[in-house]
Amino acid sequence: MINSKIKEGKTILAMAIGLSLGQLSQVLISLTDVKMVSVLGEKALSAATLASLLNLLISLFSMGCIIVIPPMIGEAKGANDKNKIYDITKNGYIMCLLLIIVHIVFYLACIVVLRFIIPDSSITHSVTQYLYGLIPGIPAWILFIYIRFILASHSDVIVATVISLLGVLINFVGNYILIYQKGLNIIGSSISTSITNWLLIVLILSYYFISFAKKNELKALSTKGKISKPILKEIAFIGIPSGCTFFSEQLIFTASSMMIGSFGYMSLASYNISLQWLTVFYMLPVGLANALSIRVGQCLGERDKNKLTLSLQTVMIMLGVYVILVVLVIVFYNHKLVNLVVSKDIVSNQLLTKTSKYMYFMACIFILNSIIAIMAGIMRGFKETKIPLYFVIFIYWAWGTGLAYVLSKYFDENGLLTGLTTGLLLACIGIVIAFYKKYKHISGTIL
């Protein structure tokens, strides 16, 4: 039994690390843009930060919609139904086309709305330029994410991960040339990102063709499969709630950042530093959740209850070990974590003390978020994405942010963070209970 868990753990961990690094590379590309634009001045930095945040919101929605497709392919693989694999893959491309349109409409809508919200026309103009520069790269980015997940559903993640990380270097060089040498300023940064996206899609498509040609599946994936309204409807039915969950979770942290900013720039800086580390630590649980959703789909396709239980137990053990290690790092090395993000020359004792205090709250949020991520990943494998969305909206959003706002009036930022943590705890409990009921139902009826 132990050997089986070790073997299963290696399989899932390899996939999870690849998916985590791939997602981290997308974050690093965005951070590179902000960092390189910062030399243009405070207004350019503010515009790039805002535009990157808007881009992250819609990107998470699109990723959430796409991420439900690999478990569906995994289930078809488990059932050894190649025709279903071809059908799902082809209809996935249709979903990508729809998401490209949604992406562009979102950007254009943001450009219009921001003109009425932000009084400083120079910042609005810079945000508009940045978003316009991103639009040409949208098709490449969405197709790149989709193909990366398709490869992951076939347990092929190494090359896609290397290509994703290579994108960070390509974008850095592109930013340097277009901003500093060509003098394109902020739009040069977003054009660099678009160029990077197209280079990445060329690289991953080249590998995609080579990989499946070796498996004698390229011709089938290229020619077989039919556009199916039921399959496309199923992808949308599962994917849109998943995308809304990703969108809502990020929006909560955006809203909390705005609320904590009311307590001064020091509180805002400390919170954002803590949030950056939360994002970094959170990557592996997200990768584990994505890998597990694929394994769950395969187990359902094979109708193998024992394998499903083994996969779930293995991931829970891995998550437990990782969470303990992260919490220990936060507790004993939080000052060093702050110094890794901010130069020692500008770190005051007040910033260090306040950030360290926030890091303890972030440790609690990290534990709860990690559990929720795994539960949501399993539920995606079960083709259930509405329940996590309900808990995020009605408990985390309505209760958590509401309580955070009320407590902040009496206990300042401590009350705000306590309210957020409480809301997340209630959402975590609810999702765990929902998972247990769904697992018992599937175990008794499907497996």
- What pLDDT was estimated at residue 2? 63
- Give the 3-state secondary structure of the chain: CHHHHHHHHHHHHHHHHHHHHHHHHHHHHHHHHHHHHHHHCHHHHHHHHHHHHHHHHHHHHHHHHHCCHHHHHHHHHHCCCHHHHHHHHHHHHHHHHHHHHHHHHHHHHHHHHHHHHCCCHHHHHHHHHHHHHHHHHHHHHHHHHHHHHHHHHCCCCHHHHHHHHHHHHHHHHHHHHHHHHCCCHHHHHHHHHHHHHHHHHHHHHHHHHHHHHHCCCHHHHHHCCCCCHHHHHHHHHHHHHHHHHHHHHHHHHHHHHHHHHHHCHHHHHHHHHHHHHHHHHHHHHHHHHHHHHHHHHHHHHHCCHHHHHHHHHHHHHHHHHHHHHHHHHHHHHHHHHHHHHCCHHHCCHHHHHHHHHHHHHHHHHHHHHHHHHHHHHHHHHCCCCHHHHHHHHHHHHHHHHHHHHHHHHHHHHHHHHHHHHHHHHHHHHHHHHHHHHHHHHHHHHCC
- What pLDDT was estimated at residue 62? 92
- What pLDDT was estimated at residue 169? 93
The pTM for the full model equals 0.84
pLDDT digits (tens, 9 = 90+) for 307-357: 888 888 888 988 999 999 999 998 888 777 777 655 555 556 777 777 788
Domain ranges of the chain: 14-227, 241-447
- What pLDDT was estimated at residue 221? 57
pLDDT along the chain (447 residues), means of 10: 67 78 81 75 72 84 91 86 87 93 93 81 85 94 91 82 92 90 86 94 85 58 76 92 85 74 70 77 86 87 85 88 92 78 60 80 90 91 88 81 84 85 89 90 73
